[in-house]
Amino acid sequence: MRPHRLRPGGIGHPGPSCPCHTCVAKRQSPWQYEALYVNRAKMVVKASGLALSSEMAEMSYEVDYYCHVATKDDAVALVTHMPIAEHVITAKQVNDYATPVVEQAINQVVQVTPLERVNEKIHEIGEVVHSHLQDFLKAFGITLDTVKVLIFPRDERMRALISLRAFGLQEIDAVRHYIAMLMAEHGLVSAPNMAIGEPFHIGAPVQATVGLGGISRGPSGG
């Protein structure tokens, strides 16, 4: 929403529907702006992207970070350092600047970590992202509150295999069980054989005979 032009020092309130940190008005000089309205509530912003593990496996990440503009001086810093378009500065604009910082911070840890151990370092990754993002947003007068990080394999098949490994299966057994589940979804009767790694016989297989004591075999032809 575009705010009304006010006199220097005036305060404008464009309404709660304005999805922005700060609304600004242009003064007589084309390069002078003043803040009219500052949304000081905590806002949640989401950044997402891809990272690569040490095996070069693609990992998707989602980062939710909560931030706010604390004081009028911070609002001045935001207006001073953030390019302004359409008389508002939105959370999306801030996120466009912050996303590369988030990506670099996550890759700093993930790229030297094997895929299966990434989630073991989720706390460390969260701390690194918080540190990098806090230093970056401080220059824009934005206070960072909380960061939540979620990382998972991008490939659905890899997620399924890791889930099977969590049951204690070895790599080859996890692959067999995953293929068996796909076969079962298509109604293939040989799915259990795939799961246990045994061949599937078509037709009447040769049955093993077991001798029973005390039972006569009958007369033999002579």
115 contacts 57 by C-beta, under 8 angstroms: yes
Q: What is the CATH number of the domain that holds 125?
A: 3.30.479.30
Query: CA-to-CA distance for 200 and 178, rounded, in angstroms?
Result: 17
> Do 68 and 167 reside in the same domain of the chain?
no
Same domain assignment for residues 144 and 162: no
Given this model, what pLDDT does residue 45 score? 93
Count of domains for the chain: 2
- For the beta sheet containing 58-68, the strands, ordered from the edge strand earlier in sequence to the opposite edge, are 43-52, 58-68, 143-153
Q: Are residues 105 and 66 in the same domain?
A: yes
Mean pLDDT, the chain cut into blocks of 10 residues (222 residues total): 36 41 51 67 91 91 93 85 76 90 94 89 94 94 94 87 82 87 88 85 59 52 46
Of the candidates 89, 132, 97, 128, which has an alpha carbon nearest to the alpha carbon of residue 110?
128
pLDDT value for 89: 79
Residues 57, 101, single domain; the answer is yes
What pTM does this model have?
A: 0.65
Using alpha carbons only, give the angle 20, 137, 60 rounded to the nearest 5 degrees: 85
Question: Which pLDDT score, from 0 to 100, does residue 9 have?
Answer: 36
The answer on 138 and 112 residing in a single domain is yes
Q: Which domain holds residue 186?
A: 158-196
Residues 165 and 136 in one domain: no
Element containing residue 24 per DSSP (H, E): strand 20-26
